[in-house]
Amino acid sequence: MKIYTVGGAVRDQLLGLPVKDRDYVVVGATPDDMLRRGFRPVGKDFPVFLHPQTQEEYALARTERKTAPGYRGFVFHTAPDVTLEEDLVRRDLTINAIAQAEDGSLTDPFGGIADIQNKVFRHVSEAFGEDPVRILRLARFAARFHHFTVAPATMALMRQMVLDGEVDALVAERVWQEVAKGLMESRPSRMFTVLQECGALARILPELVLSAPLLQAIDRAAGAGHALCVRFAVLMLAVPVAQIHALSERLRVPNDCRELAVMAAREQAAVTGALALSAEELVRLCERCDGLRKPQRFEQMLQAIECDVQAREAAQETRAFPQAAWLQAMLAAVRGVDAGALALACAQEPKRIPAVIHAARVAAVTNAISSTELP
């Protein structure tokens, strides 16, 4: 029995990056061999075991055969006679098909080390074309390793996969999972340009129309370290609100991402024009966005719109976004009104309560406007 470190851990080590998770492949072993050594089985489709001390994953070397469309249509085979090379050939990219033995020696049957040095994404074999998730994974890797380019043959294969309808077999949850991971990488714009180049973007995100400012805005959100919901909201600022709802429903986007994206798209004009809004309009904006109960989400909306505005104004060197501080000050004034005390004072005339509270908020914002220096 031989154990090798494989995949991302070897790749990242060769790139000089921190290694977060390690995956292992075991050659020449059976499930009973693993159990006798104290490993705990966790795999359903193929034998994967957890190390008794470290809890890291160890998978028996395996081959696979495609039996149906999509990424679930595979039959896996494990046996002691499955070689390391046979296991590696089923992997997606050459840079992920390098194995390291326990003595530190490397097995690189497909030229992954050279592709790391040349910064190239290249598929290991034609088996890449059997799994549409690999298109999403490659695009996500492009967002992480943004200096890498896609080998022409690999791009051609991805285009053919799209034409063959493989991408249409992807399930919504997996699409969102990969898109969300890509959005959290350092250069998310690369994910979308790769998907567009191979034709997959129009199949999985037909509502999205890429533009230079949009791509710059997404990268700006990443550079600022904003949360996933903010990055998704930036991406959706170019999409009509009705289509945001449809896209979110189709991909089963989490509620926090969906709600922020809808709010940012709906309020974009109001926020960008906030310095000219009246006290009444400012209060209604704060109320409409539920800023009193959810000030953090209100701030995230401003972050998303700020990324978009700054990306569009980059050519003019206008980088400031005074609307953010202005609206935060106005929201603070609105939240400073003691609605409970006003409601108690109107206890004898409960129908007056909403109007009284609203008027007090408008008065508070009016005072804030007069006492706050316009940016």
pLDDT at residue 320, as a whole number: 81
Percent of the chain scored above 70 by pLDDT? 94
pLDDT at residue 190, as a whole number: 98
- CB neighbours of 118 closer than 8 A, spacing ≥ 6? none
What integer is the mean pLDDT of 1-28?
93
HEC per residue, 95-135: HHCCEEECCCCEECCCCHHHHHHHCEECECCHHHHHCCHHH
What integer is the mean pLDDT of 144-164?
97
The model's pLDDT over 207-259, given as tens digits with 9 standing for 90+, comes to 999 999 999 999 999 999 999 999 999 999 999 999 999 999 999 999 999 99
181 vs 21: which has the higher pLDDT: 181
pLDDT at residue 199, as a whole number: 98
The model's pLDDT over 299-310, given as tens digits with 9 standing for 90+, comes to 999 999 999 999
The chain-wide mean pLDDT, for the chain, equals 92
Judge whether residue 36 has pLDDT over 50: yes
Q: Are strands 40-41 and 48-50 parallel, antiparallel or unpaired?
A: antiparallel
DSSP characters for 66-89?
E-SSSSS-EEEEE-TT--HHHHHT
CA 281 – CA 256 distance, rounded (Å): 25
pLDDT at residue 73, as a whole number: 47
Of 217, 206, 335, whose CA–CA distance to 265 is shortest? 217
DSSP 316: G
What integer is the mean pLDDT of 101-106?
95
Judge whether residue 46 has pLDDT over 80: no
What integer is the mean pLDDT of 190-201?
98
pLDDT at residue 347, as a whole number: 82
What integer is the mean pLDDT of 69-82?
65
Judge whether residue 78 has pLDDT over 80: no
**Residue 305: both structure tokens together:** 């719109």
Decide: residue 363, CB within 10 A, 0-12 exposed, 13-18 middle, 19+ buried.
middle
Task: Tally the residues of the chain.
Answer: 375
The model's pLDDT over 316-350, given as tens digits with 9 standing for 90+, comes to 555 689 999 999 999 999 999 999 899 898 888 88
pLDDT at residue 163, as a whole number: 96
The identity of residue 216, as a single letter, is Q
Quick check: helix, strand or coil at residue 93?
strand
CB 66 within 8 A of CB 42: no
pLDDT at residue 62, as a whole number: 83
Judge whether residue 26 has pLDDT over 60: yes
The identity of residue 25, as a single letter, is V
pLDDT at residue 104, as a whole number: 94
pLDDT band at 375 (very low <50, low <70, confident <90, very high): low
pLDDT at residue 314, as a whole number: 66
Of 99, 83, 85, 92, whose CA–CA distance to 9 is shortest? 99
Of 294, 305, 285, whose CA–CA distance to 226 is shortest? 305
What integer is the mean pLDDT of 254-266?
98
Percent of the chain scored above 90 by pLDDT? 78
